[in-house]
Amino acid sequence: MTATQGNLAGLSRFIFRAPRWYTSVIFALVLAAATGIAAFDSRFVLEDAWQGVFFVGIPTIIASVGTSSVDRRLGGQLTPNRASLLALFCELIVIAFLIGAGTVSGVTVLAQDFVLDALLVSLAAIFALRLLVIMAVSRHSLPVAAIPAGIQTAAAAALLSIYSGTTAVLLDNPALKVWLSRPEQAPAALHFVELVDFALLAVMCLLYAGAVWLFLVFLDRPWRSSMGVSVLDFIQGFIGHVAEGTRELEGFFEDIGEEALVPVTVLSVRRPGGEEKVRFVLPMIHPGPMGEIGGGNLPKRVATEADGLAFPPHATAGHDFNLVTEREVDTILSAAETAYQRLEYTDTATAGHRIEEGEVSLLGQAVGDSALLVSTFAPGFADDIEYAVGLSAVSEARAGTLEDVMLVDAHNSNNGLEGEDLGHVVPGSRRSFDMINGAGRLGNRLCTADRDSLRCGVAWEETDWTPQDGIGPLGIRVAVFEVAGTRTAYVLIDGNNMEPGLRDQIIDALDGVDDAEVMTTDTHIVNTVEAENQIGQAIPDEELIALIGDLTGRAIADLEPVEAGMASEKATVTVFGNDRTETLASTANAVVSLGGALAVTFICAVFAISVLIFFLTGA
């Protein structure tokens, strides 16, 4: 990926899962009780806690329970879990305002009125925040979104009105006053509330709503002009994904996607006339963009479909060839199954051959009239190889008599998200010509190389490592091909690239094989942890090397006569599209950087106007 795409990938650090709604509610009540003890000064601690629960926690509970129901009745998508988390966050904002104002009033000449003013500002602020989130998640217009957004502020204002006694001014019925005017039961701090304060709160809510609308208009303009979609589409999908793991983000990607025709190549190895032993599946797409969105979990899906031990290495394709939805994976798997059904097996193959061309090193061997090629730029740094480069290299390798070529990007040496050029192999670069010319040379060599009977052995370890450690659910897999006494090992690690130098250490430590290559799947499951999280970042090198050495030994012990076949099929899928990833990344990065400054500007402006309102009204 490019540096711009790397910055976008850095958004993965914000990924979390919204807790269950009752967890947020319980935490909100505990927090409210603690706030009551700190803020109120009655005779008993439990009474202080109860007042905190009542005056701070009750509006949060009402918002937690009511926001989702009201929003969904209006055609929105806010779930109870998200509504409760939003209400809890807004409670934290109110508490922060109160604590800050209380501290300032305690050390200055500012009176209790200052704390009340801070409370009113905080209630208007949480209304604005809730309005922004609900407009993004449920895509309501501003007037409609204001209804569920105002629940928490309205509930707090209603309690203030009842327990400060201001409702008594509006009520003539004595029976109603008993229920709707209870100043004698309220803390002394609430006796300063007057009817004009609620008018000021309403004015500030209108002011803040206008600021939210203007903020979204400014934020939306670059998205509309560059991509033809709204920033709210992206925010809606991103919030859904990070908070609850929904696939709403796929809807956004589908809107910006383009149709593409991609080759899907299958290499199957089986016992003679019997069960499958190992299956390599290589669709020329990129397993992204993040987590299980799109094709992020493609390697695992491939593994569940294979009869033998599945090897889904990384293809020569970058982020422009991310699948837009997980549904597209079904199309890929269907094409792979079609190719599998067309396989013609042979029991002969060539030994492994390696050639060097400029910065690239290619290891390959022919199986019948087809060939498996694995490329690496190690010990140099490289990330993804562009689709056009890989397609050209395959064509060059097939210029001889090879019928099908499976060209793997080993994806096994990178220095992270540093610098402007992160090793992307693009058309026209010296590296692209190294790869194309090298593939052509290796293809010609394999066409004329001697063929002999093929033996194969495999081994697999799921490992105790997790995506947090940079290892996906497929763990580590090793396949050893032996032809005429020459053994070639193919190591596949379910992860996203490797720390520099680790690949060479692994190969140097392998015993019993003549050549080897270490590949990664580029699974993006590990990138829900952080944008990089490469193999070797979190786990000790020596433990990984020892395990791969053990698996290679087990694969050698498993060697037996086999037959193999390769076939390709084309699949029509929807991917991000040419240059769309860069456009998305640059637009999102611009919005993130400028949006923060814009938000600060708007916040300072509306707070300044709020202060001016209080000053002019004498509140």
370-379 tens-digit pLDDT = 999 999 999 9
Pick from 230, 227, 277: which is nearest to 256 by CA? Answer: 227
Q: What is the pLDDT of residue 13?
A: 46
Q: What is the pLDDT of residue 14?
A: 45
pLDDT exceeds 80 at position 616 = no
**Domain presence at residue 256:** no
**Domain presence at residue 355:** yes
What is the SS3 assignment for 581?
helix
How far apart are the C-alpha atoms of 402 and 449, rounded to whole Å?
Answer: 12
How far apart are the C-alpha atoms of 531 and 393, rounded to whole Å?
Answer: 29
**Domain presence at residue 381:** yes
pLDDT in tens, 390-430: 999 999 999 888 999 999 999 999 986 554 555 789 999 99
Q: What is the pLDDT of residue 617?
A: 66
- pLDDT higher for 191 or 129? 129
Q: What is the pLDDT of residue 17?
A: 56
List for the chain the helix, strand, coil content (%; round to 5): 55, 15, 30
* 199 and 286 housed in the same domain: no
* 193 and 284 housed in the same domain: no
Integer-rounded Cα Rg, in Å, for the chain is 31
* 190 and 60 housed in the same domain: yes
407 Cβ contact list (under 8 Å, min separation 6): 282, 315, 316, 373, 375, 390, 393, 394, 397, 439
Q: Where does the pLDDT of residue 581 fall: very low under 50, low under 70, confident under 90, or very high at 90 and above?
A: low
Q: What is the pLDDT of residue 330?
A: 93
Q: What is the pLDDT of residue 215?
A: 87
* CB atoms inside a 10 Å sphere around CB 232: 19
Pairing of the two strands 405-409 and 370-376: parallel
* 311 and 171 housed in the same domain: no
**Domain presence at residue 249:** no
* 346 and 438 housed in the same domain: yes
Q: What is the pLDDT of residue 597?
A: 74
* 44 and 189 housed in the same domain: yes
How far apart are the C-alpha atoms of 346 and 344, rounded to whole Å?
Answer: 7
**Domain presence at residue 8:** no
The torsion angles phi and psi of 291, rounded to 5 degrees, stand at 50, -130
Q: What is the pLDDT of residue 568?
A: 97
Average pLDDT over residues 29-58: 75
Q: What is the pLDDT of residue 252?
A: 76
Q: What is the pLDDT of residue 23?
A: 85
pLDDT exceeds 90 at position 506 = yes
How far apart are the C-alpha atoms of 87 and 574, rounded to whole Å?
Answer: 38
* 266 and 217 housed in the same domain: no
* 286 and 424 housed in the same domain: yes
pLDDT in tens, 445-487: 999 999 999 999 999 999 999 988 999 999 999 999 999 999 9
pLDDT exceeds 90 at position 164 = no
Q: What is the pLDDT of residue 613?
A: 74
- pLDDT higher for 92 or 37? 92
**Domain presence at residue 448:** yes
How far apart are the C-alpha atoms of 109 and 71, rounded to whole Å?
Answer: 44
Q: What is the pLDDT of residue 515?
A: 97
Distance of CA 385 to the CA centre of its chain: 22
* 296 and 443 housed in the same domain: yes
What does the DSSP assignment read for 123-140?
HHHHHHHHHHHHHHHH--
**Domain presence at residue 11:** no
3-state secondary structure 10-58: HHHHHCCCCCCHHHHHHHHHHHHHHHHHHHCCCCCHHHHHHHHHHHHHH
Average pLDDT over residues 502-513: 97
260 Cβ contact list (under 8 Å, min separation 6): 321, 572, 573, 574, 575, 577
* 541 and 597 housed in the same domain: no
Which secondary structure element, helix H or strand E, spans residue 298, and what is its range? helix 298-305
How far apart are the C-alpha atoms of 285 and 265, rounded to whole Å?
Answer: 11
481 Cβ contact list (under 8 Å, min separation 6): 349, 352, 365, 454, 455, 456, 487, 488, 490
- pLDDT higher for 243 or 498? 498
Return the structure tokens found at 349. 């193959």
Please give the torsion angle defined by the CA atoms of residues 509, 513, 516 and 522, in that order, rounded to the nearest 10 degrees.
-80
Whether residue 379 is preceded by a cis peptide bond, meaning omega within 30 degrees of 0, is yes
Look up the domain containing 516 and give its range.
261-576
Average pLDDT over residues 330-348: 96
* 432 and 561 housed in the same domain: yes
Average pLDDT, the chain: 84
Whether residue 561 is preceded by a cis peptide bond, meaning omega within 30 degrees of 0, is no
Q: What is the pLDDT of residue 142?
A: 92
Q: What is the pLDDT of residue 120?
A: 86
**Domain presence at residue 2:** no
Q: What is the pLDDT of residue 404?
A: 96
pLDDT in tens, 56-114: 888 999 999 999 999 999 988 888 888 998 999 999 998 888 788 777 777 776 656 67
Number of domains in the chain: 2
Q: What is the DSSP letter of 369?
A: T
Which secondary structure element, helix H or strand E, spans residue 550, and what is its range? helix 541-557
What is the SS3 assignment for 164?
helix
* 291 and 429 housed in the same domain: yes
Look at 215-219, 419-423, 484-488, 563-567 and tell me which has the smallest mean pLDDT.
Answer: 419-423
